[in-house]
Structure 1
Amino acid sequence: MSLPPADTAPAPEKGGDDLATLAKGGRTNTMGFVIRLVARIPFLVIATRLYGAEALGRFASALVLIEIVALICSLGEKRGLAQRLSEGAGENRSAEVNLVYDGMLLALGYSAIAALLLLAFPEPMFPNGTNSPYDLWLVATIPAFAVTEILLAAQAYRFDIATTVRTRAIVEPWTISIAAGLFFYLPGTRDAGLALAFITSIYAGLLTALWPFLRTYGLPRDWRPAPRAMLGMSASAFPLVGADAIERGTRLLDIFILGLFAPPQAVGIYYAAQQIASLPQKLKTSFEPILSPVITKNLRIGNMEAIAAQVRQVGFWIIAVQLGIALVLAIPGEAVMGLWGPDYVAGTATLAFLLAAEVVASMAVVSESVLVYIARKRNLAISVGIIALQAGLTVALIMAARNAGFGDGYQAAGAAGALMLALAASSLVKALLLKHLLGAPVSNWRWPLVYAAGAAVVVGYAFTFLPEWIELVVGIPAVLATYALVIWRRGFDEGDKVLFRKNVVPAPDASSPS
């Protein structure tokens, strides 16, 4: 028995349709990014003002292992599912459904094992101690997180990005914000509020993703899990799992190392800055769900030039928007960090480094979206080298700041600087490898980015001499408007502007930007 399938958009068949599909998915996720930005602010205010930097630091340290383990248990299905469905199901909808359920069953099995191990040996989750005994139950989010990743990937294969936006940009952030406030004031749950709020938000996200999935795919028919085939699926997923875990690990390793070498307050300051800087990261990865089906289709027909064109196009869209966001948040950095309290102003340099890191990482992420299909082992080897480089740089810069007698803010800034350098190296190496494999240029760099950034910096710097409330209320829109005007007129050609048009009927030969 299955639920009636929901309407889904068919896969595009022409290069121009690919561009329109990418643009539509990008618009949806860009709107999701804006919603997520608004939704994240209440949680940051509650976490920093009510719970404080020390409690926030312990909570952040615990999340490092939870998120990495959950990502591993999802078996790289965020990108791998599109290829499995494209190659293994054909036109058989029943086979498609069964393939998705195979992945979910396998993820649940690995999640259960991982959760039990962490329950038995919880010490790695809490290098700075716990806020409450309830913190241990963060392990309950591992299976929910892993299954949600697969559900959203399955919907993305049918070009349903709205479900991802609802889940990740509305339900999860608003749930954690509301729950964190409620648990703080409920008797007996104040110390455990952050952990309980996170658990609540992850399961709310799971339910939000599950309903449209059941409408689209329904329940499995004649489904008999084959243990041998599922073990083979585990083995083939290893390069994808490694790439996903390392990509996410680069954003979490610094918190883990800070937890080992720095006090909880430094971790809390870093985490607050990271939550702001992670917003452009979400924008960057928002193209992945819609990019994967387009790439796998072109790989199937051997159209490497079209893939290179899509990488260039999407890469420029991402870096153009990300650079604007980074300037808007970094120029008034002291005022932005001051919103969370006077203790967090010390994280201004950390915020600037983290925002710069997300800008330089854009090329690595877009390149990797192709490399995971055509050079999995080489991509994984590069990622391992990059995370090793980051670990060495992070320890060196934190220890240098500590030995020099600098405070928590400088130690956090050292970790952020290490991340920026490592991600810059990753972008360079992966872009060169992809260019070699595709036989076509893939760079997302254009000189108008410099012109737009320069104009925005001049305008933003002028506002730093005014009171902070004017800098935030008037200065931020002024910086954004200046940057947007210059990049629109000097940087965006007609191929780029399709991102902002809802009604697009592309020409058949529009597979590459003009």
Structure 2
Amino acid sequence: MSDTGDTDLLARGGRTSFGGFLLRLGARMPFLFIAGRMYGAEALGLFAYATMVIELMAQLATLGLKRGLAAELAEGALPEPQIVADALLLAWIAAIAGALLLVAVPGIVFPNGGGGGFDRFLPLMAVAIVTSDVAIAAMAFRHKLGVAVVARSVVEPWTLAIVALLMAFTPLKRDGLLIAYAASMVAAMVASLRPLIREFGWPSGWSPHWRRLFELARANLPLAGADAAEWGSRRLDIFILGRFASAEVVGIYFIAQQIATLPGKLKSSFDSILAPVVTRTLAAGDTDGVAAHIRQVGFWIAAAQLGAVLALGFTGEASLALFGSTFATGTAVLALLLLVEFLGAQASISETALIYLRRKSNLLLSVAGLLLQTGISLWLVPIYGGVGAAAGLAIAALFLALTKSALLRRVLDTPVIGWRWSLVVAALPAVIAGLLVQHLHGLVQLIVGIPFVLGVFAAVIWTIGFRGPDRLLFVRGKGLG
């Protein structure tokens, strides 16, 4: 496929997944409002910590298959349905082992008590999580990105919001958020598994290839470690905060984190399609093409994120107060976490190529970033609480952005950063717009301010920043599944 064809494919994939991001945003906000207003900061803090531990274990259990499965399918050593079946079995074995450990030691999931009754068996939801992850990765290999949109952006968040609302009016309210979480994971699993079976069919004549499973697990360890390190770096802050602060503080931090990660989800709009395109381009030996894809997606993401970061940053206090007056104290945390999302995107984009070119070096950098974050957080969290946790995360994100981009540039021997000065030029009038909207109050600031700041930034960046292939992102074409 030509470079123009690949760019068009990336653009269509990004548009498809971005539509999913908007749908997910539309459902995530009602859940946060329900959780903040009807359950309170303490219950939300317990929910945030428990689900963080379970999802970290599920991330480890996926064994890097979310990105590594594309390479396995591209190799074609076995019929595709059998490769997918092996991947699912491997993920299930790891997820069940991890879940049983957490069930046996509930204090890991519930450090402030609890873990009785239904709560204790919540870690079993890891099986549903890894099933969805592997199914979505397999469908992405065939460019069927609509499955991820439906499962992750419609079924999962809306199930979470609706069940949480219903549970708030029952005697089960104490466990309402966790019950809603379990229901949403099962629903997402069903929504991703059914289209997988339709697309690939049943693996006829399949039986577990135990030797190959072992080799696959071993080969994917560096990738699994890098995935876990990157994912863990975004959850380590809550883990450390949960050990030093009350559940209420964790709940406030969680709401700030959920708002701040909205720009980060813009980056993930390209994850599903970028990995297959990079894999195919590398297989063709076109390293310049890989660098071009990284730069192009990097610019698209930087442009989208910077506008979102500015809009959310200048309306941060009003955004947090929407979920309850208690949460408005997290403004400084929100500002730092927005910075983290912007810095972290470039490291993540570079990693998309590094996992195929320098797996071990990429893993070492990820671990180094995790250790740096741990050290800084352990120093600052006991003193500054949530602000200290966010600061540790921001410093680690800057370290990873610089080092991973530098490593990829050295490997490909060509620039890979998508940063352009037009982003700065577009940001200046958006900053002025942001300062103006801060004079508005409450809901008016959100309803008027966010679109105004975004509109100013978008108008300028479109006029002076988007040229040629850049505009393919906004040219409608045939969707991707």
Q: Same fold (TM over 0.5)?
A: yes
The structural deviation recorded for 1:58 is 1.1
The structural deviation recorded for 1:453 is 1.5
| Corresponding residue of 1:331 | 314
Instruction: Kindly indicate whether the alpha-carbon contact (under 8 Å) linking 2:100 and 2:124 is maintained by their aligned counterparts in 1.
Output: no
For 1:240 and 1:31, how far apart are their aligned partners in 2? 28
For 1:206 and 1:279, how far apart are their aligned partners in 2? 23
The structural deviation recorded for 1:282 is 1.9
What letter matches 1:44 in structure 2? Answer: L
Deviations 1:425-459 (A, max 9, x none): 10100000000000110011111111211111111
Instruction: Kindly indicate whether the alpha-carbon contact (under 8 Å) linking 2:311 and 2:450 is maintained by their aligned counterparts in 1.
Output: yes
| Corresponding residue of 1:75 | 63
| Corresponding residue of 2:84 | 100
| Corresponding residue of 2:421 | 447
| Corresponding residue of 2:156 | 172
Q: Does 1:359 align with 2:313?
A: no
| Corresponding residue of 2:352 | 369
Instruction: Kindly indicate whether the alpha-carbon contact (under 8 Å) linking 1:175 and 1:201 is maintained by their aligned counterparts in 2.
Output: yes
- The runs of 5 or more residues in structure 2 that have no matched partner are none
| Corresponding residue of 1:116 | 100
The structural deviation recorded for 1:286 is 2.2
For 1:167 and 1:36, how far apart are their aligned partners in 2? 10
| Corresponding residue of 1:278 | 261
Q: Which residue of the other structure, out of 203, 211, 214, is the alignment partner of 1:220?
A: 203
For 2:189 and 2:31, how far apart are their aligned partners in 1? 20
Q: Does 1:207 align with 2:185?
A: no
The structural deviation recorded for 1:397 is 1.6
Q: Does 1:477 align with 2:451?
A: yes
The structural deviation recorded for 1:131 is 7.8
Deviations 1:102-139 (A, max 9, x none): 01011111111111111111111112223863222221
Instruction: Kindly indicate whether the alpha-carbon contact (under 8 Å) linking 1:330 and 1:352 is maintained by their aligned counterparts in 2.
Output: yes
The structural deviation recorded for 1:14 is 2.1
For 1:347 and 1:135, how far apart are their aligned partners in 2? 28
| Corresponding residue of 1:420 | 394
Q: Does 1:267 align with 2:228?
A: no
| Corresponding residue of 1:62 | 50
What letter matches 1:485 in structure 2? Answer: A
Instruction: Kindly indicate whether the alpha-carbon contact (under 8 Å) linking 2:281 and 2:287 is maintained by their aligned counterparts in 1.
Output: yes
For 1:167 and 1:297, how far apart are their aligned partners in 2? 26
What letter matches 2:216 in structure 1? Answer: M
Instruction: Kindly indicate whether the alpha-carbon contact (under 8 Å) linking 1:18 and 1:294 is maintained by their aligned counterparts in 2.
Output: yes
For 2:233 and 2:90, how far apart are their aligned partners in 1? 26
Q: Which residue of the other structure, out of 407, 411, 436, is the alignment partner of 1:433?
A: 407
The structural deviation recorded for 1:287 is 0.9
| Corresponding residue of 1:87 | 75
State the SS of the aligned residue for 1:312.
helix
Deviations 1:352-384 (A, max 9, x none): 111111111111010000000010000000000
Q: Does 1:20 align with 2:8?
A: yes
Instruction: Kindly indicate whether the alpha-carbon contact (under 8 Å) linking 2:131 and 2:193 is maintained by their aligned counterparts in 1.
Output: no
Instruction: Kindly indicate whether the alpha-carbon contact (under 8 Å) linking 2:422 and 2:465 is maintained by their aligned counterparts in 1.
Output: yes
Q: Bigger CA drift: 468-477 or 358-367? A: 468-477
Q: Does 1:257 align with 2:240?
A: yes
What letter matches 1:284 in structure 2? Answer: K
For 1:430 and 1:32, how far apart are their aligned partners in 2? 28
Q: Which residue of the other structure, out of 117, 120, 130, is the alignment partner of 1:146?
A: 130
Q: Does 1:45 align with 2:29?
A: no
For 2:112 and 2:330, how far apart are their aligned partners in 1? 20
For 1:397 and 1:345, how far apart are their aligned partners in 2? 21
Q: How many residues align?
A: 478
Q: Which residue of the other structure, out of 123, 126, 142, is the alignment partner of 1:158?
A: 142
The structural deviation recorded for 1:492 is 1.1
| Corresponding residue of 1:497 | 471
What letter matches 1:260 in structure 2? Answer: R
Moved over 6 A (4+): none
The structural deviation recorded for 1:281 is 1.6
Instruction: Kindly indicate whether the alpha-carbon contact (under 8 Å) linking 2:73 and 2:80 is maintained by their aligned counterparts in 1.
Output: yes
For 1:102 and 1:286, how far apart are their aligned partners in 2? 27
| Corresponding residue of 1:198 | 181
The structural deviation recorded for 1:293 is 1.0
For 1:460 and 1:180, how far apart are their aligned partners in 2? 34
For 1:431 and 1:264, how far apart are their aligned partners in 2? 37
Instruction: Kindly indicate whether the alpha-carbon contact (under 8 Å) linking 1:456 and 1:479 is maintained by their aligned counterparts in 2.
Output: yes
| Corresponding residue of 1:346 | 329
Instruction: Kindly indicate whether the alpha-carbon contact (under 8 Å) linking 1:61 and 1:128 is maintained by their aligned counterparts in 2.
Output: no
- Identity of counterpart residues, as a percentage? 45
What letter matches 1:197 in structure 2? Answer: A
Instruction: Kindly indicate whether the alpha-carbon contact (under 8 Å) linking 1:463 and 1:470 is maintained by their aligned counterparts in 2.
Output: no
For 2:440 and 2:167, how far apart are their aligned partners in 1? 38
Instruction: Kindly indicate whether the alpha-carbon contact (under 8 Å) linking 1:59 and 1:131 is maintained by their aligned counterparts in 2.
Output: no
Deviations 1:149-208 (A, max 9, x none): 000000000001111011111110000000011112122x11000110000000000010
Q: Which residue of the other structure, out of 246, 253, 270, is the alignment partner of 2:229?
A: 246
- The runs of 5 or more residues in structure 1 that have no matched partner are 1-12, 402-410, 505-514
For 2:35 and 2:43, how far apart are their aligned partners in 1? 8
What letter matches 1:490 in structure 2? Answer: I
TM-score, normalised by the number of residues in structure 1: 0.91
For 1:109 and 1:469, how far apart are their aligned partners in 2? 48
State the SS of the aligned residue for 1:445.
coil
Deviations 1:454-475 (A, max 9, x none): 1111111112112223211111
What letter matches 1:380 in structure 2? Answer: L
Instruction: Kindly indicate whether the alpha-carbon contact (under 8 Å) linking 1:131 and 1:191 is maintained by their aligned counterparts in 2.
Output: no
Instruction: Kindly indicate whether the alpha-carbon contact (under 8 Å) linking 1:131 and 1:192 is maintained by their aligned counterparts in 2.
Output: no
What letter matches 2:450 in structure 1? Answer: I
Q: Does 1:380 align with 2:357?
A: no
| Corresponding residue of 2:434 | 460
Instruction: Kindly indicate whether the alpha-carbon contact (under 8 Å) linking 1:295 and 1:307 is maintained by their aligned counterparts in 2.
Output: yes
For 1:465 and 1:15, how far apart are their aligned partners in 2? 47
Instruction: Kindly indicate whether the alpha-carbon contact (under 8 Å) linking 1:285 and 1:365 is maintained by their aligned counterparts in 2.
Output: no
State the SS of the aligned residue for 2:187.
helix
State the SS of the aligned residue for 2:339.
helix
| Corresponding residue of 1:405 | none
